[in-house]
């Protein structure tokens, strides 16, 4: 939530951290553990532990801390700042004053970020009725409000009158906040709807709809559950990591991590897609790392984006002709959790952030968010479209830096400071955008 100027914002790489290599030695550290003799009913997969820690209705991070997603009282007037220093100090004061753990880019750069998305949608969709937009993990509703406002002001009147904008939100509290923000009086009342449910649950989407539509996911991929696998050498079989919170019916004070032979089908399928197939944009770092691992025959600890694969399978089966717009973090700084693709686990108390050394410490009070390997995302999208898409239509996808997208579609003059520094283009340098369309759709 799904979901860069001050380190205290958790999700942001500041100017001083922007080029820091996030792939520290800790990320490739491994542990050799004996396989504990634990009954299957006494352990759960890592993805299930993470899902509960983030989304449990009573104790999950987003259920218990709807205010973790920050909401600005008013749009920022960037022309009031002399330059980067003034802007950074202003954001730092925002974090210290409130209890929010982070502000999303669409929140900080409102309405310009949302307007850019709306302009892209209008340019891609044209004036043909109807227009169907879905947003997954809509946060405070800022994105939806900005997009609807832009289409009402700049799109054909008939297009706005007949369009629908559906927010699919797993947090009940955030769903309420979205509706209150987006629907004011009669504005957007006919167009905007909120569905409180998990977007990964296929049953919630109802019958297959083959009409073109747009699916927006801003800072959603980073909070999707992942699994963790391990193998001693490149020739060894993969082991799945599981979390134990009780033994012989007795609850443990602190959860434990164990290894079991890989048997989960979703993990196996996701691993196969990650390791096989072609992609338009290969990850040089991943290719180099895999080559070194094979040459040295060393152990591997790998985080597997099974939550992402499950969501893409659901979307492609339910809305096969969607245009997918996803934005997220490609790099995270100061990650202390071991494993390739490991998450940053961070909590905030009294305005002070604490980065944890274990995901097992996250029990509803800490955020767990992962970097997105966009080359893997591209592979998963292509695979899920081919195997789960009803229409069987081929897909075309692009990976672009957020600044490149904003330079094309945003009114960048509105986010300039007096010195010429432009945070919309120069901050969040660790974010990328993924655009996936049916063949014949928009390309960069």
Domain coordinates of the chain in residue numbers?
A: 7-438
Which pLDDT belongs to residue 283?
Answer: 53
pTM higher than 0.85:
yes
Judge whether 289 and 28 are in contact, CB under 8 Å: yes
- The CA distance from 352 to 232, in Å, is 38
Return the exposure string of 191-204: e unless at least 16 CB atoms fall within 10 Å of the residue's CB, then b. Answer: bbbbebebbbeeee
Which pLDDT belongs to residue 110?
Answer: 97
- The CA distance from 379 to 374, in Å, is 9
Please name the helix (run of DSSP H) or strand (run of DSSP E) that holds residue 169, with its range, or none. Answer: strand 164-169
Which pLDDT belongs to residue 249?
Answer: 66
Judge whether 368 and 362 are in contact, CB under 8 Å: yes
Which pLDDT belongs to residue 5?
Answer: 34
Which phi and psi angles does 125 have, rounded to 5°? -80, -35
Which pLDDT belongs to residue 34?
Answer: 46
Please state whether the peptide bond connecting residue 130 to the residue before it is cis, i.e. omega within 30 degrees of 0. yes
Q: How far is CA 404 from CA 87, 114, 419, in A?
A: 21, 15, 21
- The CA distance from 59 to 222, in Å, is 20
Judge whether 351 and 344 are in contact, CB under 8 Å: no
Question: Comparing C-alpha atoms, which of 259, 272, 280, 252 is closest to residue 339?
Answer: 259
Please name the helix (run of DSSP H) or strand (run of DSSP E) that holds residue 192, with its range, or none. Answer: strand 192-196
Q: How far is CA 253 from CA 53, 89, 256, 360, 423, in A?
A: 16, 41, 9, 11, 45
Which pLDDT belongs to residue 7?
Answer: 28
- Range 7-438 classified under CATH 3.90.1170.50: no
Nearest-Å Rg of the Cα atoms of the chain is 22
At 239 the three-state DSSP class reads: strand
Which pLDDT belongs to residue 298?
Answer: 72
DSSP 282-347: --HHHHHHHHHHHHHT--EEEEE-HHHHHHHHHHHHH-TTEEEEEEEES--SS--S-SBTPPEEEE
Judge whether 431 and 388 are in contact, CB under 8 Å: no
Q: How far is CA 189 from CA 35, 127, 162, 183, 269, in A?
A: 55, 21, 12, 5, 42
The residue ranges of the chain whose pLDDT is under 50 are 1-36, 279-282, 292-293, 295
- Please, what is the Cα angle at 21 between 16 and 26, to 5 degrees? 125
pLDDT tens digits, one per residue of 113-156: 999 999 999 999 977 779 999 999 999 999 999 999 999 999 99
Q: How far is CA 326 from CA 106, 181, 184, in A?
A: 12, 22, 27
Which pLDDT belongs to residue 246?
Answer: 72
Judge whether 430 and 13 are in contact, CB under 8 Å: yes
């Amino acid at each position: 939530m799904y979901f860069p100027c001050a380190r205290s914002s958790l999700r942001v790489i500041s100017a001083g951290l922007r080029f820091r290599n996030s792939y520290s030695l800790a990320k490739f550290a491994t542990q050799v553990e004996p396989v504990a003799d634990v009954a299957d009913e006494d352990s759960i997969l890592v993805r299930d532990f993470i899902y509960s820690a983030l989304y449990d209705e009573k104790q999950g991070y987003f259920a218990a801390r709807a205010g973790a997603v920050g909401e600005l009282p008013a749009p920022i007037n960037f022309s009031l700042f002399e330059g980067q220093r003034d802007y950074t100090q202003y954001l730092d004061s925002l974090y210290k004053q409130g209890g929010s753990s982070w502000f999303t880019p669409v929140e900080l750069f409102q309405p310009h970020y949302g307007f850019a998305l709306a302009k892209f949608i209008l340019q891609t969709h044209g004036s043909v009725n109807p227009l169907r937009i879905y947003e997954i993990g809509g946060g405070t509703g800022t994105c939806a409000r900005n997009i609807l406002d832009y289409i009402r002001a700049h799109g054909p009147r008939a297009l706005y009158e007949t369009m629908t904008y559906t927010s699919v939100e797993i947090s009940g509290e955030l769903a309420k906040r979205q509706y209150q923000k987006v629907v004011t009086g009669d504005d957007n009342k006919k167009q905007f709807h909120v569905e409180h449910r998990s977007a990964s649950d296929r049953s919630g989407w109802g019958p297959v709809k083959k009409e073109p539509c747009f699916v927006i996911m801003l800072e959603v991929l980073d909070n999707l559950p992942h699994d963790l696998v391990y193998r001693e050498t490149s020739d060894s079989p993969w082991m799945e990591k599981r979390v134990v919170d009780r033994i012989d019916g007795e609850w443990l004070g602190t959860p434990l991590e164990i290894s079991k032979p890989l048997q989960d089908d979703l993990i196996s399928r996701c691993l196969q897609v990650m390791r096989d197939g072609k992609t338009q944009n290969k990850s040089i770092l991943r290719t180099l790392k895999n080559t070194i691992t094979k040459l040295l025959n060393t152990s591997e600890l790998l985080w597997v984006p099974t939550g992402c694969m499950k969501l893409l399978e659901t979307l492609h089966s339910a809305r096969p002709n969607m245009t997918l717009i996803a934005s997220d973090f490609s790099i995270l700084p100061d990650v202390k959790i071991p494993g390739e693709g490991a998450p940053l686990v961070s909590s905030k108390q009294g305005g002070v952030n604490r980065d944890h050394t274990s995901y097992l410490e996250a029990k509803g009070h800490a955020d767990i968010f992962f970097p997105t390997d966009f080359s893997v995302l591209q592979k998963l999208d292509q695979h899920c479209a081919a195997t789960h898409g009803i229409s069987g239509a081929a897909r075309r996808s692009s990976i672009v830096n957020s600044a490149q997208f904003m330079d094309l579609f945003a009114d960048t003059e509105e986010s300039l400071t007096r010195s010429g520094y432009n945070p919309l283009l120069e901050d969040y340098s660790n974010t990328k955008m993924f655009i996936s369309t049916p063949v014949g759709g928009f390309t960069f």
